[in-house]
Amino acid sequence: MKTTDPRYHPVRSFVRREGRITEAQKRALEELLPRYGVAPGAAPIDFTELFGRDAPVHVEVGFGNGEALAAMAAANPQNNYLGIEVHRPGVGMLLRRLVADGIVNVRVACTDAKELLECCIPDCSLSAVYIFFPDPWQKKRHHKRRLVQTEFVGLLARKLKPGGLLHLATDWEEYAQQMLAVLTADKTFENTAEADPFMPRPQGRTLTRFEVRGQRLGHGVRDLVFRRTPR
């Protein structure tokens, strides 16, 4: 039976394009995902059990090939990092990098970030969330697919601890303005920038291939860092 109820036809911010997945990436998914992976389920994640220790939890949504996530985790061993990505080749690349570089404070979920956040991540449990260069869905008719929308930002506000940070970056100017408008309208967040609402790339954010490509195309990169306020 067909239905127009959006609960049964959710608008997703991604399209699964597997592309070419290498044999090495396939092996990483088969052999390493059981070790580093987080299986989606109905029960909330116990982060202390998942990581084997109690430490601040940082989440990157849509980590691509994992270069920024691996760099952050290596540079900040005092934190735990959870990466969420739907595209299997990128997950395979990150898993291989974790082993090659001896990075032990990362766990990976190969699933829809919205669903994982909603059902599996406890409220007020995250110290930071990163969303770097999400798909801008350039055509106006596709703007509804953009990840950074009012509802999703409200979900992140629930999951972040008071004082937790939400760091966004994009090289698409119009999307940057939308991100700014959505975050400014949500009074559970405050902008950490001072004079300009956007800030230069923070030292801790690795220059990604998406950013390099955007700069090559003449796109300006915008960073937004907002802080979750106490309610």
The predicted-structure confidence for 160-216, as pLDDT tens digits, reads as follows 999 999 999 998 999 999 999 999 999 999 999 988 999 988 888 888 776 777 678
For residue 68, the domain's CATH number is 3.40.50.150
- CA atoms of 101 and 97, how far apart (whole Å): 6
What is the pLDDT, as a whole number, of residue 211? 75
**196 in catalytic set:** no
Of 80, 87, 89, 67, which Cα lies nearest the Cα of 36?
Answer: 80
Q: What percent of the chain has pLDDT over 90?
A: 74
Q: Look up the pTM and report it.
A: 0.88
In a domain, 8, yes or no: no
Sheet harboring 189-191: ordered strands across?
Answer: 106-109, 80-84, 57-61, 126-132, 160-170, 222-228, 189-191
Task: Check whether 140 has a pLDDT greater than 50.
Answer: yes
Task: Check whether 231 has a pLDDT greater than 80.
Answer: no
What is the pLDDT, as a whole number, of residue 98? 98
Task: Check whether 14 has a pLDDT greater than 90.
Answer: no
In a domain, 223, yes or no: yes
Cα of 151 vs its chain's centroid, Å? 16
Cα of 85 vs its chain's centroid, Å? 8
- CA atoms of 186 and 9, how far apart (whole Å): 26
In a domain, 5, yes or no: no
Per the structure, the count of domains in the chain is 1
Joined together, the tokens standing for residue 116 give 């994982």
Cα 45 to Cα 38, 50, 97, 117, 196, distances in angstroms: 9, 7, 24, 10, 37
In a domain, 219, yes or no: yes
Of 195, 199, 160, which Cα lies nearest the Cα of 176?
Answer: 199
Joined together, the tokens standing for residue 101 give 């570089």
Range of the domain at 65: 23-228
Joined together, the tokens standing for residue 103 give 């990075």
- Looking at per-residue pLDDT, the higher value among 1 and 170 belongs to 170
In a domain, 11, yes or no: no
Strands 57-61 and 80-84, how do they pair? parallel
What is the pLDDT, as a whole number, of residue 204? 84
- The owner of tokens 């055509």 is 139
Of the residues 101, 135, 186, 196, only one is catalytic, namely 135
In a domain, 15, yes or no: no
In a domain, 61, yes or no: yes
How confident is the model over 57-74, as a mean pLDDT? 96
How confident is the model over 122-127, as a mean pLDDT? 98
